[in-house]
Structure 1
Amino acid sequence: MFAPLLIHRFFVNIRYEKGGKINGFKIGVSGSAVDNCTKDAPRKAELVGYHLARKGMVVVTGETTGMPYYAAKGAKKGNGFTVGISPAISYVEHVRKYRLPHKYTDFVMYTGFGYSGRNLLFIRSTDAVIFICGRIGTLNEFTIAFEDKKPIGILLETGGVIDEIDHILTVSQRGRNNIVFDSDPKKLVEKLIALVQKEAREKAKRNK
């Protein structure tokens, strides 16, 4: 609970400092850290980040290479705010031991929990998550988000384990009410934001 709470308080402070420019949800972007994706997956990941930023969303990643890196790059092109959740305990460990980038990140949380611990904190620190391509680490983050009933967006036709999610959901027989699919980055972003906004309205009604 500590990391998500700290990030939430940080966002509140940023809203005041920036005059309320950051007024959206915290949307995570998960995906392959290596190049096992389709040829146009990096471009699509960058567009996901860009469109999230243009909608006023905060883009959260696992502060790694590959698809999350491209999403953060796109978010900065869209004049957005980016947050990275690192597996390392410090900046030095982040770049020397894990050899991970931080070029397009405005705020980094160094967890010191390694990849598996980072994955949990990353997902718990978001309001929703978009998945692009991916391998076993991405699948791990997907199952965490799914069990937590997070709104989920699946960017289709990007390769890797994400192209198998539909089959996994069918076999698991757990439903998919909180999941949206699309092969177009902009349309997927719009669908996911609509889903998050709907859930936020329903939650507000329940809390009255």
Structure 2
Amino acid sequence: MTKNTYQICVSGAAGGKTVETGHTIAFDAGVAIAKAGHQIMTGATVGLPDRAAQGAKSVGGISVGISPAATKLAHTKKYRLPTESYDVILFTGLHYIGRDVLLISSSDAVIFIGGRLGTLHEFTIAMEQHKPCGVLLGAGGTTEEFDDVMRAAGMRDFAAHRVVFDTDPVRLVRSVEEMLRKP
């Protein structure tokens, strides 16, 4: 990686309605990350994260998956997860909860799209680790409630907690880059 290249995680719904509503913006987020020269990281799962990885790959980007499975065989057979959109997959054997911690810990920043409980879990990990977070609005799901979650937790100053919200993937990636440049 070059000096200005970051590993940006995309977290989002693997299933449910937000996969349909967020299909295009997830792809566009992956494109924006790759065009900005960054690597995309996901939980090597289906749905919006895979769609973002597809977007990154469509413009020659590098995608890294962090799998909950211990082996490629378990990844594809037991968990029924994809491999096509990834240059590299790390098979962790940590199941979903452990995978989430490793994924967020290994990322420089996280972009959230749509989502269900797993996305909320990854958001709380990112907040506890003080990671820059970009929330891409418009897909529905738990991400549409992250501002309320933050307020309920007493985190009323989003900028101080390094969280930005936007509806445009390109603008959101730029905002995340700005946060990454600041210590």
The residue correspondences of 1:109-128 to structure 2 (distance < 5 A) are: 109-128=90-109
TM-score by length of 1: 0.83
Which of the two has greater helix per residue? 1
Q: 1:113 to 1:39 in 2, by over 3 A?
A: closer
- Could you tell me which amino acid in structure 2 is paired with residue 191 of structure 1? S
Task: State the Cα RMSD in Å.
Answer: 1.4
Letter aligned with residue 193 of structure 1: E
5+ residue gaps, structure 2: none
Report the equivalent of 2:66: 85
CA contact (8 A) 2:19 2:47 kept: no
Say which of 160, 176, 179 aligns to 2:141: 160
- Relative contact order (C-alpha < 8 Å, sep 6+): which is higher? 2
Say which of 146, 152, 173 aligns to 1:189. Answer: 173
- Residue pair 2:21, 2:140 contacting (<8 A) in 1 also: no
Is 1:50 equivalent to 2:31 in the alignment?
Answer: yes
How many residues matched? 180
Q: Normalized against structure 2, the TM-score is what?
A: 0.94
* Corresponding residue of 1:138: 119
Q: Which residues of 2 match residues 23-34 of structure 1 at below 5 A?
A: 24-34=5-15
**Structure 2: distance between partners of 1:100 and 1:39:** 18
Rounded Cα–Cα distance in structure 2 between residues aligned with 1:180 and 1:84: 24
Deviation readout 1:103-158 (Å, 9 max, x if unpaired): 11001100001000000000001000000000000000000000000000000121
Gaps (5+ residues) in structure 1?
1-14, 200-208
- The separation in 2 between residues aligned to 1:112 and 1:30, in whole angstroms, is 19
CA shift, 1:198, in A, is 2.0
Letter in structure 1 aligned against 2:35: R
The residue aligned with 2:82 is 101
Which of 138, 150, 166 is the aligned partner of 1:169? 150
Deviation string 1:24-56 (CA, Å, 9 cap, x unpaired) is: 100000000003217441110000000110111
Amino acid at match of 2:171: K
Query: What secondary structure is seen at the aligned counterpart in 2 of 1:189?
Result: helix
Among all aligned residue pairs of Structure 1 and Structure 2, give the percentage whose two residues are the same amino acid: 42
Q: Which of 1 and 2 has greater Rg? A: 1
